[in-house]
C-alpha cells in the first residue's frame, strides 16, 4: 500500500469527493444540513455535564440551599432529557433520509457498472475492485457523520481546554503526547485492516462462488449424482478457514492497539490524579473545583481522543473511498465515442475492413485481417470449428469490444461514430449463453414495463411456447425458476431457447443474431428451431452462427471461419461444390448421423 494513501491530502481529497457526492443528492443535502444543526446544538451539553456538578458541590459546601443550587440541579437534570430528545427526534428523520440516499447511491453505482465497457467486466482484478467499491457505498453518509463528529469534538475540545489551561497548561501537553502515541497505533491498525480487507474481498469472491454452487438448485442433481458435494464443501471449508485467519488477525491487531491505549490511559490517570490531590492538599483547591477539573480532564481526553479517532476514521474510510473513486472514474469509452444516429434497412451494409483482434492481456490474435460484408437484405450463416473466431466476430459487431486493428463500417461510417446505445438497439440477439432472469415469464420476454399484448401473443405463438404457457400455474405471470416462488418453473433447454428467441423477436431489432444458442440440442431439434426462427424474420437481416451445419440452407450466404479469418464464402451449393473446408465439414457431420452405430460384437 502506498504511504500517501493515509496522508492529510489524500484524506481531504477523499472526504471532499464523498461529501460532494452526498451534497449532489436532495436527500444528501437534507442529511448534511440537519447533521450540522444537531452537532452545533449538542456541543453545548458536554460543557454542562463538566462544570455543573462542580458548581453544585461548591454550593452544597456553603451549607444552604440557594437559588443557584436549584438552577444548577435543574439544568443538570434536564440536560440529559433534552440531549436524548434531540437525538431521538433528529435520528428518526436522519434514518429515513439515509435509507433513501443509500438507495440512490447504490443505483448510481450499478448504473456505472452496467455502462462500463464489456472488456472491463471480464477482468478479475477489476471485479475485485468493483466488490470493494460496492462495499464503500455505506461509507458515504458515515463520512458526513465523521466530519460532524470531528467538528462537534473540536468545539467541545476548545471549550473544555480553557478550563484545564487555567489549572496547568502542562497537563494539556502530557495528554497530547499520549494521544499522539495512540493515534500512531490506530493509523497502523487502519493500514493493517486495509491490507486484510483486500485479502478478504478476494476470498469473499470464492466464498460466493462455492456458496452459490451449494445453494443453487441448478447444481443439485450433478452434485449428488457425481458425489461432488464433498469436494465443493472441502473447498468452501478451506476458504472459510482462510477468511477466519483474516478475521483473527484483525482481532489480534485490535487487541494490541487496545492494550496500548489502556496502558497510556493508566499512566495519564495516575499523573492527573496525583497532581489534583496535591493541589487540594497543598494549594487550597476546593473539592468542587477539583471535581470540575477532573471532569474537564476526562472530557478533554475524550474530546481529543474523539478528534483523533474521527480523523483516523476519516483516513481509514479514505482508503476505501479511494477504491470507490478509482472504480467510478474508470472511463466509459464506448459511451463517449460517437453521437451519430444509426439506421439500417435492406440497402444498408456493414463491412469489416482488415479487422484484427486480441483479447486484453493476450498476445494471440483471435481474429486476423478479417474482411467480410453483411448486407441488409440477406441472411448470413457463419460456420467453423470451436475457437475459429465466430463469437468474437459477434462481440466486435455489436461493439462489446473495439477492434485491435482495422475498422468496422456501417453505411461507410465507422461504427464508433454512432451513439453507442442506439447502435446496439439495431440488434436482436440470441446468444449461446442466453439468460433466463429471476422474473416472470412475461418479464423474461418483454424485459421492460411496456407491454404490447398483441405483439406478445404473436411472438409466443410463432416461437412455440404458447403451449408451455397453458400448462403453467399462473400463465405468463409464472415465475421463472423456483428461487423466489415455489410455483415457479425451471425451463428445459428447448424451452429456454424458445424464450430467448421470443425475447429477440419481441424487441424486433433490424439485425437478428443467433450465436450457437442450440449447441446443446440434437441436430433435428436445432434445425427445427432455426427454421422456426427464420420463418419469424423473413424480411429481416440475420446472422446465424454455428459449428454445426443444420442451418446453412436457411441462409443466403455462408462464411467459413478458420483461425480468425474468412477461409471460404458463398452459397451452400457454391461452397459444397468447391470441395474445400466447408465440404469436408459438411460430409463429416452428415456421415456421423447417417452411419449405423458400431456393434460391440
Report pLDDT digits (tens) over 68-127. 888 888 888 898 899 889 988 888 888 889 888 888 888 888 888 888 888 887 777 888
Q: What is the pLDDT of residue 592?
A: 63
State percent of the chain over pLDDT 70: 91
Question: Residue 307: its pLDDT value, please?
Answer: 79
Instruction: Please give the average per-residue pLDDT across 325-332, as a whole number.
Output: 86
CA 560/CA 585 separation, integer angstroms: 10
Which phi-psi region, left, alpha or beta, contains residue 381 (left: φ > 0; alpha: ψ -120 to 50)? beta
Q: How far apart are CA 470 and CA 468, in angstroms?
A: 5
- pLDDT computed for residue 422 by the predictor: 92
Looking at residue 601, what is its pLDDT? 44
Strand partners, 407: 353
In this structure, of 153-157, 336-340, 412-416, 589-593, the range with the lowest mean pLDDT score is 589-593
Tell me what the mean pLDDT of segment 506-533 comes to: 75
Q: Which of 297-306, 315-324, 523-532 is most confident? A: 315-324
Domain 3-328 shares a fold with domain 349-436+491-594: no
As a whole number of angstroms, the distance between CA 390 and CA 563 comes to 10
Which one is predicted more confidently, 235 or 598? 235
Model confidence pTM above 0.75: no
pLDDT attached to residue 596:
52
**For all residues of the chain together, what is the average pLDDT?**
83
CATH number of 349-436+491-594: 3.40.50.300
Which residues are within 8 A (CB) of 65 and not within 5 positions of it... i.e. 6 or more apart?
A: none
Instruction: Please tell me the least confidently modeled range out of 1-15, 39-53, 147-161.
Output: 1-15
Per-residue cell: 154: 473540536
In sign, the C-alpha dihedral spanning 554, 556, 562, 565 is negative
Going by pLDDT thresholds of 50, 70 and 90, the confidence category of residue 354 is: very high
More confident residue, 600 or 173: 173
Give the fold, CATH level 3, of 3-328. ABC transporter transmembrane region fold (1.20.1560)
Looking at residue 399, its pLDDT comes to 92
pLDDT at 528: 72
Sequence ranges of the domains in the chain:
3-328, 349-436+491-594
Name the band, by pLDDT with cuts 50, 70 and 90, for residue 521: low
Cell 464464402 maps to which residue? 569
What would the mean pLDDT of 323-344 be, rounded to a whole number?
87
Distance CA 460, CA 193 (A): 54
User: Strand, helix or coil at 161?
Assistant: helix
Per-residue pLDDT at 459 exceeds 60:
yes
pLDDT of residue 218: 66
What are the residues facing 405 on neighbouring strands?
A: 356
> 22-26, 347-351, 358-362: which range is least confident on average?
358-362
Distance CA 68, CA 74 (A): 10
Q: How far is Cα 183 from Cα 190, in angstroms, rounded to an integer?
A: 10
Q: What is the mean pLDDT of residues 567-580?
A: 92
Amino acid at each position: 500500500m502506498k504511504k500517501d494513501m493515509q496522508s492529510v491530502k489524500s484524506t481531504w481529497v477523499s472526504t471532499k469527493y464523498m461529501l460532494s457526492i452526498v451534497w449532489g443528492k436532495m436527500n444528501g443535502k437534507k442529511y448534511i444540513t440537519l447533521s450540522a444543526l444537531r452537532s452545533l446544538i449538542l456541543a453545548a451539553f458536554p460543557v454542562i455535564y463538566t462544570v455543573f456538578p462542580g458548581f453544585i458541590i461548591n454550593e452544597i459546601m456553603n451549607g444552604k440551599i440557594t437559588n443557584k443550587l436549584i438552577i444548577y440541579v435543574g439544568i443538570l437534570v434536564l440536560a440529559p432529557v433534552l440531549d436524548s430528545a434531540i437525538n431521538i427526534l433528529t435520528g428518526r428523520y436522519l434514518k429515513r433520509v439515509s435509507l433513501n440516499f443509500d438507495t440512490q447511491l447504490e443505483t448510481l453505482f450499478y448504473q456505472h457498472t452496467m455502462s462500463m465497457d464489456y472488456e472491463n467486466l471480464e477482468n478479475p482484478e477489476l471485479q475485485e475492485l468493483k466488490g470493494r467499491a460496492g462495499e464503500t457505498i455505506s461509507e458515504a453518509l458515515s463520512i458526513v457523520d465523521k466530519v460532524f463528529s470531528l467538528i462537534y469534538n473540536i468545539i467541545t475540545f476548545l471549550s473544555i481546554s480553557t478550563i484545564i489551561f487555567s489549572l496547568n497548561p502542562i497537563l494539556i501537553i502530557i495528554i497530547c503526547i499520549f494521544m499522539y502515541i495512540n493515534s500512531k497505533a490506530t493509523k497502523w491498525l487502519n493500514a493493517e485492516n486495509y491490507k486484510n480487507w483486500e485479502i478478504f474481498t478476494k476470498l469473499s469472491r470464492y466464498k460466493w462462488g462455492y456458496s452459490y454452487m451449494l445453494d443453487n438448485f441448478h447444481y443439485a442433481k450433478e452434485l449428488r449424482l457425481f458425489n461432488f458435494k464433498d469436494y465443493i464443501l472441502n473447498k468452501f471449508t478451506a476458504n472459510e478457514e482462510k477468511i477466519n485467519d483474516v478475521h483473527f488477525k484483525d482481532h489480534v491487531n485490535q487487541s494490541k492497539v487496545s492494550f496500548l491505549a489502556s496502558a497510556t490511559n493508566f499512566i495519564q490517570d495516575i499523573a492527573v490524579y496525583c497532581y489534583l490531590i496535591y493541589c487540594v492538599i497543598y494549594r487550597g483547591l476546593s473539592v468542587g473545583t477539583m471535581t470540575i477539573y477532573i471532569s474537564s480532564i476526562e472530557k478533554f481526553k475524550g474530546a481529543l481522543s474523539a478528534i483523533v479517532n474521527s480523523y483516523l476514521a476519516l483516513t481509514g474510510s479514505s482508503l476505501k473511498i479511494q477504491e470507490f473513486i478509482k472504480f467510478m472514474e474508470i472511463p466509459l469509452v464506448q459511451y463517449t465515442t460517437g453521437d451519430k444516429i444509426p439506421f439500417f434497412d435492406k440497402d444498408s451494409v456493414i463491412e469489416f475492413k482488415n479487422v484484427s483482434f486480441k483479447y486484453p492481456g493476450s498476445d494471440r490474435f483471435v481474429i486476423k485481417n478479417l474482411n467480410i460484408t453483411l448486407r441488409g437484405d440477406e441472411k448470413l450463416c457463419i460456420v467453423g470449428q470451436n475457437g475459429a473466431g465466430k463469437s468474437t466476430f459477434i462481440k466486435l459487431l455489436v461493439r462489446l469490444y473495439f477492434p485491435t486493428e482495422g475498422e468496422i463500417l456501417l453505411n461507410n461510417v465507422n461504427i464508433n461514430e454512432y451513439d453507442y446505445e442506439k447502435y446496439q438497439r439495431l440488434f436482436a440477439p440470441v446468444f449461446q449463453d442466453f439468460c433466463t432472469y429471476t422474473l416472470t415469464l412475461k418479464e423474461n420476454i418483454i424485459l421492460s414495463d411496456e407491454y404490447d399484448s398483441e405483439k406478445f401473443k404473436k411472438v409466443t405463438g410463432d416461437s412455440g411456447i404458447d403451449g408451455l404457457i397453458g400448462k403453467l400455474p399462473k400463465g405468463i405471470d409464472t415465475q421463472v425458476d423456483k428461487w423466489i416462488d415455489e410455483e415457479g418453473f425451471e425451463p428445459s433447454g428447448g424451452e429456454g431457447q424458445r424464450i430467448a428467441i421470443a425475447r429477440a423477436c419481441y424487441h424486433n431489432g433490424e439485425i437478428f443474431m443467433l450465436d450457437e444458442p442450440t449447441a446443446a440440442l440434437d441436430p433435428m431439434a436445432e434445425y427445427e428451431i432455426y427454421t422456426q426462427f427464420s420463418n419469424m424474420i423473413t424480411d429481416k437481416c440475420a446472422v446465424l452462427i454455428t459449428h454445426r451445419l443444420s442451418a446453412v440452407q436457411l441462409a443466403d450466404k455462408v462464411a467459413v471461419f478458420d483461425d480468425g479469418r474468412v477461409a471460404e464464402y458463398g452459397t451452400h451449393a457454391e461452397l459444397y461444390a468447391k470441395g474445400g473446408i466447408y465440404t469436408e465439414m459438411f460430409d463429416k457431420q452428415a456421415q456421423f448421423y447417417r452411419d449405423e452405430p458400431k456393434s460391440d460384437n
